[in-house]
Amino acid sequence: MLRKHNKPGNKKTELNIVKPYDFALSLRAVKSFQPSTTEPNDGLQLAAVVEGIPTIIEVSQNPEINGIAVSSRPKTKSSQVSRIVEWVLFTELDLKPFYRLASSGAKLKLLTGKLHGLKPMRPVSLFEMAVIAITEQQISLAVAYRIRSRLVERFGVPIEKQWVFPEPEILASAPIEDLRSCGLSQQKEQYIHDLANKIANGTLDLDMLKTLDDDKARETIMNLRGFGRWSADYILVRGLARPDCVPVDDLGIRSVVGEYMRHGQRLSPTEVTEKLKAFRPYRGLLAFYMLANHRLNL
């Protein structure tokens, strides 16, 4: 007989995920990129609106079955929950071909060995991701983070000790001064209003980016007001976790690729492209592994 580990009021379901996968490692990796290192617990909590109801989705390791368990508060039967978690954890990504490709050199073999099972995590919503990109243009990450906190706490939906990121409709109808008073510049306030309006009135569906190839997705993003090359790449890499996509302009990437592929010397954007050429279609994953290893300081 199958043992049920369900408790009343907290329905748990298991998640199918393409292996190898190391949830704890992947979680540590995302957190190492986040400005705030609070959140002491070792599980993942996502705040999202499910069937119109603000919900906390909890993702944790289930040692009994060596898998991933998902629960939600309030509990819901909606299949939206697993779809969200599948998206965030990138369950469908198969790391095996990437490992085969990166096993050529001793250094890279060591890297993928240390980080075995690491997958990038993606934010719940691409709208939030797009707003992150706008706020982080030019100013420091810490400042951008403060501005976003004010935005979320003001317009988002509170649940437990978190907030669900505001829906486009909410920001679209927010008065200009209200957005400005969160610390956004006049330009950035316009970009966000413009984006939110397009989504709210149905002219734009960011989720369809998921169906486009890298170049087409980049082009689509760059046609939006306020999104240049940097922001488009940022969304492709962080928001969609495209396995072959590398933000070659990024200083961190240039240093860390140089660390592995030249003697710790920073590379130029074209040199990064050159050095990673052989690792298509997993150039982005490789860069992610290098960066994660650097951040985690293993």
- Whether the CB-CB separation of 231 and 129 falls below 8 Å is answered with no
> CA 199, CA 43: separation in Å to the nearest integer?
32
In the complex, the smallest distance separating the C-beta of residue 187 from DNA, rounded to whole angstroms, is 5
Q: Is the bond preceding residue 20 a cis peptide, omega within 30 degrees? A: yes
Nearer to DNA (CB atom), residue 57 or residue 195: 195
In the complex, the smallest distance separating the C-beta of residue 234 from DNA, rounded to whole angstroms, is 6
Nearer to DNA (CB atom), residue 70 or residue 235: 235
Distances (CA, A) of 147 to 152, 196, 284: 9, 17, 29
Told to check if 229 binds DNA by CB under 7 A, we report: yes
Nearer to DNA (CB atom), residue 17 or residue 224: 224
| Binding span for DNA by CB under 7 A among 109-117, 183-191, 203-211, 271-279 | 183-191
- CB under 8 Å to 66, separation ≥6 — which residues? none
194: phi then psi, degrees, rounded to nearest 5: -60, -50
Judged by CB under 7 A, the residue of 227, 282, 288, 289 near DNA is: 227
In the block, residue with structure tokens 């049920």: 4
Please work out the total of residues on this chain that contact DNA, with binding judged by CB under 7 A. Answer: 34
Told to check if 268 binds DNA by CB under 7 A, we report: no
99: phi then psi, degrees, rounded to nearest 5: -65, -40
| Binding span for DNA by CB under 7 A among 3-11, 170-178, 245-253, 270-278 | 245-253
Q: How far apart are the first and last CA of the chain?
A: 42
**Contact track, DNA, 78-117, x by CB under 7 A:** ----------------------------------------
| Binding span for DNA by CB under 7 A among 5-13, 78-86, 205-213, 232-240 | 232-240
Three-state DSSP at 280 gives coil
In the complex, the smallest distance separating the C-beta of residue 255 from DNA, rounded to whole angstroms, is 11
Instruction: Point out which residues pair with 47 in neighbouring strands.
Output: 56
In the complex, the smallest distance separating the C-beta of residue 28 from DNA, rounded to whole angstroms, is 16
In the complex, the smallest distance separating the C-beta of residue 133 from DNA, rounded to whole angstroms, is 7
Told to check if 60 binds DNA by CB under 7 A, we report: no
DSSP class per residue in 144-188: HHHHHHHHHHHHSEEETTEEEPPPHHHHHHS-HHHHHTTT--HHH
Nearer to DNA (CB atom), residue 26 or residue 231: 231
Judged by CB under 7 A, the residue of 29, 89, 171, 232 near DNA is: 232
Told to check if 138 binds DNA by CB under 7 A, we report: yes
Told to check if 239 binds DNA by CB under 7 A, we report: no
Told to check if 33 binds DNA by CB under 7 A, we report: yes
| Binding span for DNA by CB under 7 A among 79-87, 143-151, 204-212, 266-274 | 143-151
Told to check if 240 binds DNA by CB under 7 A, we report: no
**b/e per residue 22-59 (b: at least 16 CB within 10 A):** bbebbbbbbbeeeeeeeeeeeebebbbbbeeebbbbbb
Which residue, 192, 180, 247, is CA-closest to 225?
192
Residues in contact with DNA by CB under 7 A are: 33, 136-143, 146-147, 183-189, 224-232, 234, 237-238, 247, 250-252
